[in-house]
């Protein structure tokens, strides 16, 4: 998905009277592109719910970082389709290699029955690196910082599989997920850094089940 804004609408007579090259530049600018200034940050800031952002990884190419979310619709009554995942660039501005990003995953049960053994898993894509000690449950049952190790708290990060696992909901433990009531939710946060060699599109999905 490409969140770059649609180029500005054609402006009729004004557009018609512009030289082709100038018009092309205008459209590029409207799209947030700037092919004539390699390496320059091309996006002023990242907004909530943005799913992509342009990063300048070198002086010769612009690349895209995508923090997408996936919705998992249960065949049973609990419905997590409203769950989502967003990220923000902690230091603001354009997303550049070395930047720290904070991901927020919100698991929401909009079904008509409470969920059982509710677990959020998120396998991090290549191009970003988990920031140790940054995992926490920020709203919902069992709030607070969680250790990276698999222990008695409700969350861990497995460096081998690059996967974050959080057992959310009431009654969640170090081994099993808890229950999210109808319209209940839980918010999880963690941070990553963008790798120095991050190129292309980084896709990321969180799965609630």
Binding positions for Ca ion, rule: CB under 5 A: 146-147, 151, 153, 156
CB 103 → Ca ion: shortest distance, Å? 17
Which residue lies nearer to Ca ion by CB, 135 or 202? 135
CB 150 → Ca ion: shortest distance, Å? 6
CB 149 → Ca ion: shortest distance, Å? 5
Quote the CA–CA distance of 158 and 171 in Å, as a whole number. Answer: 22
Which residue lies nearer to Ca ion by CB, 99 or 153? 153
Which residue lies nearer to Ca ion by CB, 165 or 204? 165
Which residue lies nearer to Ca ion by CB, 93 or 133? 133
CB 52 → Ca ion: shortest distance, Å? 31
Quote the CA–CA distance of 82 and 70 in Å, as a whole number. Answer: 10
Q: Is 103 exposed, middle or buried (0-12, 13-18, 19+ CB in 10 A)?
A: buried
Residue nearest to Ca ion (CB): 147
Q: Is 13 exposed, middle or buried (0-12, 13-18, 19+ CB in 10 A)?
A: exposed
> Closest Cα partner for 121 from 108, 132, 107?
107
CB 157 → Ca ion: shortest distance, Å? 8
For 42-135, where are the E strands, in sequence order?
Answer: 52-56, 62-66, 84-89, 100-108, 119-123, 128-130
Which residue lies nearer to Ca ion by CB, 24 or 150? 150
Task: State the Cα angle at 136 between 133 and 139, rounded to 5°.
Answer: 165
Largest distance between two CA atoms of the chain: 69
């Amino acid at each position: 998905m490409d969140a770059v804004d649609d180029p500005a609408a054609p402006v009729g007579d004004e557009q018609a009277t512009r030289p082709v090259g100038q018009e092309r530049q205008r459209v590029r600018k409207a799209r947030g592109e700037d092919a004539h200034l390699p390496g320059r940050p091309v996006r002023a800031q990242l907004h909530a719910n943005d799913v992509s952002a342009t990063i300048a990884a070198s002086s010769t190419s612009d690349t895209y970082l995508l923090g997408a979310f996936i919705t998992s619709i249960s065949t049973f009554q609990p419905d997590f389709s409203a769950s989502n995942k967003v990220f923000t660039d902690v230091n603001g501005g354009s997303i550049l290699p070395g930047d720290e990003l904070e991901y927020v995953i919100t698991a929401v049960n909009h079904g008509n029955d409470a969920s059982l053994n509710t677990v959020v898993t998120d396998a991090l894509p290549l191009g970003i690196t988990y920031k140790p000690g940054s995992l926490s449950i920020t709203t919902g049952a069992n709030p607070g910082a969680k250790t990276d190790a698999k222990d008695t708290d409700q969350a861990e990060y497995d460096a081998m599989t690059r996967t974050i696992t959080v057992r959310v909901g009431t009654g969640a433990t170090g081994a099993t997920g808890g229950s999210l009531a109808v319209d209940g939710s839980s918010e999880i946060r963690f941070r990553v850094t963008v790798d120095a060699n991050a190129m292309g599109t980084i896709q990321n999905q969180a799965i609630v089940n």
